[in-house]
Structure 1
């Protein structure tokens, strides 16, 4: 099995036809499903949140078999993730995509569990501490994209689980948990 760093690639990654959009509907649906799963698993394992169609992305080419996805194929696979709520186009030109390997509600649940597991009820933390602090090391929150984090925090704020405080700069924004 081929690897990309420490990530094990699925068998289809070495099958040249999977790097070309398939014309037969059933085959294309299977192809799209496989690529969606691969993109989500890879992004999760590497903590990648943004994919740019204009820049090199390791999954979109396989030098071993000398194949690369066309722009059309990349956009088709990412658009399929968007249709499922697992990604969002960041721009109108569909050049950059925010990958949601956890949906926003799932991130909110992860944050809430993190707060409970760490006894953070009635505690205040900065948003930066949640993203990169000592407490978040070794958790899925460590290194989370700020946009994703803020949206998940907003979900929790709307449910009365925390309050978001604006700081003098975005690094100073804080949250107070009331789990």
Structure 2
């Protein structure tokens, strides 16, 4: 099975037709589904929060695929050999957006924020992190949360806490702030502005 670093790629990644938008509705629906899952799984495993449609993103092309013309007429090709066209990239990401698993970051659809957890799911993760570590009513900085080092759970909560730490470690700062503002709107958190971005803090009321 082909790998991309430490990530195992699915079998379909080696089939040229999956890099071309399929004209038949049923076939395209299946194509979109497998690409949605691949994008989410890869981004989560590699902690990639932002995808640039016009950038050299690893999943947008497969150099292993050769002699594409042997399988398809050149006029039917929707891009380069083993490479997703801009339209295909936008179709797959738009499908994730429709499910709340991604958001466009600009009006020109050049950058996309990946949300393998929806905003509310991230909020739930953070609340569990706070409860497991007894951080209610305590103040911690945004950077402490992103480092994933603030852990004081009991033996009963260690496994769950470790899972949450893994998810929070390295989280995109902009995404984390959005989730914290969501919690603030619900009266479960208060954000404090520090003298610098590194000093910005939050107090939870769970």
Q: Give TM class, smaller chain.
A: over 0.9
> Cα–Cα, structure 1 residues 158 and 45, in superposed 2: closer, same or farther, change >3 Å?
same
Compute the TM-score of the two structures, normalised by the length of structure 2: 0.83
Task: Name segments (4+ residues, structure 1) moved above 3 Å.
Answer: none
More strand as a share of residues: 1
Q: Quote the Cα distance in structure 2 between the aligned partners of 1:140 and 1:165.
A: 23
Q: Which residue number in structure 2 is paired with residue 46 of structure 1?
A: 46
Q: Which 5+ residue runs of structure 1 have no aligned equivalent?
A: none
Q: Which residue number in structure 2 is paired with residue 159 of structure 1?
A: 186
Aligned partner (choices 106, 110, 124) of residue 121 of structure 2: 106
Q: Which residue number in structure 1 is paired with residue 157 of structure 2?
A: none
| DSSP-derived class of the 1:98 partner | strand
- How far residue 133 of structure 1 moved from its aligned partner, in angstroms, is 4.9
Count matched residues: 179
Aligned partner (choices 127, 135, 138) of residue 120 of structure 1: 135
Compute the TM-score of the two structures, normalised by the length of structure 1: 0.95
Q: Quote the Cα distance in structure 2 between the aligned partners of 1:139 and 1:125.
A: 18
1:12 to 2:12 alignment: yes
- How far residue 169 of structure 1 moved from its aligned partner, in angstroms, is 2.1
Q: Quote the Cα distance in structure 1 between the aligned partners of 2:141 and 2:83.
A: 42
Cα deviations across residues 26-49 of structure 1 (Å, max 9, x unaligned)?
Answer: 101110011001000110111100
Q: Quote the Cα distance in structure 1 between the aligned partners of 2:172 and 2:26.
A: 35
Cα deviations across residues 99-130 of structure 1 (Å, max 9, x unaligned)?
Answer: 11100000001111111111111110011111
Aligned partner (choices 146, 169, 186) of residue 131 of structure 1: 146
Q: Which residue number in structure 2 is paired with residue 64 of structure 1?
A: 64
- How far residue 163 of structure 1 moved from its aligned partner, in angstroms, is 1.0
Q: Which residue number in structure 1 is paired with residue 177 of structure 2?
A: 150
Cα deviations across residues 84-111 of structure 1 (Å, max 9, x unaligned)?
Answer: 1111110111110001110000000111
Q: Quote the Cα distance in structure 1 between the aligned partners of 2:140 and 2:170.
A: 16
Cα deviations across residues 40-85 of structure 1 (Å, max 9, x unaligned)?
Answer: 0110111100000111111111111141111111111111111111
Q: Quote the Cα distance in structure 1 between the aligned partners of 2:109 and 2:183.
A: 29
After TM superposition, the structure 1 = structure 2 runs for residues 90-101 of structure 1, keeping only pairs within 5 Å, are 90-101=105-116
Q: Which residue number in structure 1 is paired with residue 23 of structure 2?
A: 23
Instruction: Say what the alpha-carbon RMSD is for the aligned residues.
Output: 1.3
- How far residue 146 of structure 1 moved from its aligned partner, in angstroms, is 1.0
